[in-house]
């Protein structure tokens, strides 16, 4: 009888812990931050606007991204500082995320005028095997409206995508017959200004059955006779 009682207490304890963990999970939200400020140095991210030791904080470089879990259903101020001067706030973004939500904050603009584009990631969760989904976003403030084309297709995937504008997720096949995808980012005159090639079969683990974002970042005119435009991939879910 004692052994039976001990077993029952153990099971009840495990169930209680599981319920508590599930409740905590339901109160959490996921936020991915992307550094796309073309002329800015690496940044430190203070997710709770509290005094922290930045020397223990890994910086976020241009073109890079990181994911963080925040408490849901409450307003949080996220503070960004440049590693060159951690005493001065470069940008502050207030977020209030829903429980279980997945969002992405894109930092863009220039170092003198930082702006944030906060998107709730409406990821596609019912994809069958051998599919993946891509969202496109224009984070280059001087590239103007852009058109996005898939090589070998006449119709554009997106047209006149303005600065800060993003598409919904678009599904693509990931079979040997589908092959490699090359996406061209073109200006309003239909001149290609950047491109990105994606081989879903070669990078199957991070592509197939996944939702990802392709972001145009950098500057069309970098004040030195050239441009720094490129396309970066962000894995969302």
pLDDT tens readout for residues 19-51: 444 444 458 889 999 999 988 899 999 888 778
Tracing tokens 């890994």 back to the chain, one arrives at 58
Contact 212, 123 (CB under 8 A): no
Phi-psi region of 225 (alpha: psi -120 to 50; beta: other; left: phi over 0): left
Give percent above pLDDT 90 in the chain. 41
- In which band, very low, low, confident or very high, does the pLDDT at 226 lie, cut at 50, 70 and 90? low
The per-residue pLDDT for 114 is 92
pTM across the whole model: 0.81
C-alpha 79/C-alpha 151 separation (Å) is 40
> Does residue 16 carry a pLDDT above 60?
no
| DSSP-derived secondary structure for 160-176 | EE-TT-B---EEEE-ST
- Say which residues have a Cβ less than 8 Å from residue 142's Cβ, sequence separation at least 6: 219, 220, 221
Look at strands 102-110 and 28-35 and give their pairing: parallel
Q: State mean pLDDT over 146-167.
A: 93
């Amino acid at each position: 009888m004692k052994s039976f009682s001990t077993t029952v207490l153990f099971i009840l304890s495990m169930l209680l812990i599981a319920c508590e963990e599930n409740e905590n999970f339901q109160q959490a939200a996921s936020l991915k931050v992307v550094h796309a400020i073309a002329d800015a140095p690496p940044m430190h991210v203070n997710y709770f606007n509290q005094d922290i030791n930045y020397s223990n904080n890994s910086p976020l470089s241009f073109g890079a991204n990181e994911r963080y879990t925040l408490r849901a259903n409450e307003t949080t101020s996220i503070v960004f500082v440049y590693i060159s001067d951690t005493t001065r706030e470069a940008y502050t973004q207030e977020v209030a995320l829903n429980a279980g939500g997945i969002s992405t904050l894109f930092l863009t603009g220039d170092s003198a005028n930082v702006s944030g584009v906060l998107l709730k990631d409406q990821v596609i969760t019912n994809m069958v095997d051998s599919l993946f989904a891509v969202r496109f976003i224009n984070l280059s403030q001087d590239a103007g409206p852009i058109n996005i084309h898939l090589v070998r297709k006449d119709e554009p995937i997106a047209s006149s995508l303005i600065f800060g504008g993003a598409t919904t997720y678009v599904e693509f096949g990931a079979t040997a017959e589908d092959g490699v995808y090359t996406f061209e980012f073109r200006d309003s005159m239909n001149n290609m200004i950047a491109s990105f090639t994606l081989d879903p079969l070669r990078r199957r683990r991070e592509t197939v059955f996944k939702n990802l974002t392709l972001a145009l970042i950098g500057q069309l005119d970098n004040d030195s006779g050239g441009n720094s435009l490129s396309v970066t991939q962000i894995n969302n879910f």
